[in-house]
Structure 1
Amino acid sequence: MWNWENPDWPKFTYDSKRLESLEAKFLVKSGEFLGAFKHVGQDDRDMLKIELISEEAVKTSEIEGEILRRDSVQCSLRQQFGLEGDATNINEAEHGIAEMMADLYKRFADPLTHNMLFDWHKMLMSGDRQIEDIGGYRTHPEPMHVVTPIAGRPKVHFVAPPSNRMKKEMDSFITWFNDSALKGKNPLPALTRAGIAHLYFVCIHPFEDGNGRIGRAIAEKSLAENLGQPTLIALAYTIERSRRLYYEALERNNKDLEITDWLKYFAGTILEAQQNTINRVDFYVAKAKFYQRFRGRLNERQEKAVARMFREGIDGFKGGLSAENYLNITKISRATATRDLQELVEMGAFTKTGELRHTRYSLKLSEENKR
């Protein structure tokens, strides 16, 4: 029996006391994010917003096995927010996810409606030539299965409600979502509401495709509504790093209406995502201060290597930058590379570890460069 076959569906039950400490931590972390964001200069906030949203767009697609180009998604996002951007070479999938994420950011406070979900689905599926129902709930008579295509005997993880129930199911979902908002008829705490919203939506599985991405967007919208502002939270980024645990948690909780374990898992994921977001903001601040400190002191080759290292993001080059990495980035002689790297260490831009072929270099984002 799947949860939607239970006669009490969709009356989820859970132990709210086991979530109280997590809800309190969420509010504290939200304050920490605001504090970190205040250290970003006004001119840099648009750039940071684009970086954070593009990372979410790329990662929420990657969870579903779709690999997008981050630079193209960022170009599309800049256009969505009225900033300068080059629209050339952006494919439909990259433009679609960027458009949806920008719409989520702009309309986070609007009540959830069928049309909002239809708009998001049209954006996501704009380049798809195989989906019949784009911008509408599924209508095909065949059961909607979530499966892993194992050779010989596919593994069925979930069977969703039949298509003829979609209008009724989604009417109920949208009513519940809006009523559970902070100013709704039956308000719920932030983590509890976001967790239920995500599980509830993906168990209905109302679209032919795109349910995971829209479900995560709904969770982010829920958090933003409860906070009264866009969260810029690294939720998809965090889920993608432990994708297997995410799918296992969904599968463990699609057969019963008691979902305390799911809510604890999802709340923990949101808290981790908040910390990841704060770390990324701190990294951006440190990056800005790094460039202030070394402005005019780096040659063209060094600037190119530093920019490449920053583009790797907060995780950086795995194991650090090697001399071979530097050669590949700059296309120069080994002697010149050795001299460049030594200069970067001496001026305090890089730290050096290891010896000989095990030598590695990292950006020196010292304490004075941090918040």
Structure 2
Amino acid sequence: MIWNWQHEDWPNWRYDPKALEAMEQHFLLGAGRLSGAWQHLSKDDRDNVKVELLSEEAIKTSEIEGEYLDRASVQSSVRRQLGLKAQAKAGSAEAGIAELMVAVFDGFENDITHETLFVWHRMVCGAQRDLQNIGAYRTHTEAMQVVSGPFQKPKVHFEAPPSRQVDREMTRFLDWLNQSTLPALTKAGIAHLYFVSIHPFEDGNGRIARAISEHSLSRALGQPSLLAFARQIEKERKGYYDILERNNKSLNIDAWLAWFAKTALKAQDYSIALIGHVIAKTQMLDRLRGQLNDRQERALLRMFEAGPDGFVGGLSAKNYRAITGATVPTTTRDLNDLVAKGALHKTGARKATRYWLAA
């Protein structure tokens, strides 16, 4: 079997530039909408959105690799990295990935160098004790393979270039990455596949590849992309691994770039919806200031915490009692009042009655 890096014309990727033109334009227009919405946020809301997006990205990029982190710890770490007040102590894994997310967010204007990647690798893998090289490219002589299945009969999904070639390959990759002027989605998509094809580290390659893509998109825009990129990939995790595997044997990468671009646009749509959701929350609470009791405000904040996807299944009277501790009669009065004030709208009847944010 011949892998992509074994072709004679590696790494001359082949694709149809025109195939992504519409999506590239869509991405730039979406970036303008995202930037415009961002300008309408207060400083506190901007800080909250940054914490929410970066924490979610840290959690989801780890979940893609099968690592599940404590959300409160990640959020506290992100807040601390952003210079905001934080309370909860963070575990080493949570602190490391949070540090990476903030480094990518703040450092998008800088070239990515070997040392940049070594620092990122220490952030991602610094807590691991089973790696030979942390903060350095791999040097082991055995083949670097991506495998699955039983130990006795593993399935090889990919084999990367031998360790002795990594320094040379990474120097060529970084020269291309820092000098290429390709359109945003095209470049970020190639960067992701190019990096994971070299697979320069013993572990952490996927998380760093996604960080490189985020950095590339932000640099193309001249501002942080604010994309919920890892969140979207995690939602389509199987498709992500399938499309990577289907594009690791050939230098023709049209299918990969199309998948990557569509995923980035979905991530951008979510980020736009999230900022709109925060604006709606601020506007609603301002409009109803002084008109809500503590129970009603607590319930609304809990519903807004669910994000733009909404409170799963809608808010029931039972949910309301669980959130607020209210009695049955008080719950009925509170919910009817919230509907009357235009904060919620109601669907269904009797036990099937559900309440939804009207924003």
Structure 1 position 194 matched with structure 2 position 188:
yes
**Which residue is equivalent to 1:325?**
319
Structure 1 position 169 matched with structure 2 position 169:
yes
Q: Is this contact kept in 1: 2:45–2:278, CA < 8 A?
A: no
Alignment of 1:60-71 (within 5 A): 60-71=61-72
**Which residue is equivalent to 2:47?**
46
Identity %: 53
Equivalent residue letter for 1:317: F
Structure 1 position 4 matched with structure 2 position 5:
yes
- Aligned counterparts of 2:149 and 2:284: Cα–Cα separation in 1: 48
Equivalent residue letter for 1:10: P
| SS in structure 2 at match of 1:335 | helix
**Which residue is equivalent to 1:59?**
60
Equivalent residue letter for 1:281: I
Corresponding pairs, count? 358
**Which residue is equivalent to 1:91?**
91
**Which residue is equivalent to 1:235?**
229
TM-score, normalised via structure 1 length: 0.92
Q: CA RMSD in A?
A: 1.6
**Deviation readout 1:327-346 (Å, 9 max, x if unpaired):** 22223433332332222222
Structure 1 position 156 matched with structure 2 position 183:
no
Q: 1:295 to 1:150 in 2, by over 3 A?
A: farther
Deviates more, 1:112-121 or 1:23-32: 23-32
Pairing partner for 2:255 from 243, 261, 266? 261
Q: 1:283 to 1:150 in 2, by over 3 A?
A: farther
Equivalent residue letter for 1:266: F
Alignment of 1:212-291 (within 5 A): 212-291=206-285
Alignment of 1:99-178 (within 5 A): 99-149=99-149, 153-178=153-178
Equivalent residue letter for 2:134: I
Structure 1 position 357 matched with structure 2 position 351:
yes
Deviates more, 1:194-203 or 1:122-131: 122-131
Alignment of 1:26-41 (within 5 A): 26-41=27-42
- Aligned counterparts of 1:251 and 1:361: Cα–Cα separation in 2: 44
**Which residue is equivalent to 2:76?**
75
1:150 is displaced (CA, Å) by 5.2
**Deviation readout 1:112-159 (Å, 9 max, x if unpaired):** 101100111111112222222111111222222212335864332211
Equivalent residue letter for 2:235: R
Deviates more, 1:276-285 or 1:34-43: 34-43
Equivalent residue letter for 2:105: Y
Structure 2 unpaired stretches of 5+: none
Equivalent residue letter for 2:127: G
Q: 1:161 to 1:38 in 2, by over 3 A?
A: same
- Aligned counterparts of 2:26 and 2:324: Cα–Cα separation in 1: 45
Structure 1 unpaired stretches of 5+: 181-186, 366-371
Q: 1:323 to 1:153 in 2, by over 3 A?
A: farther
1:55 is displaced (CA, Å) by 1.7
| SS in structure 1 at match of 2:46 | helix
Equivalent residue letter for 1:217: A
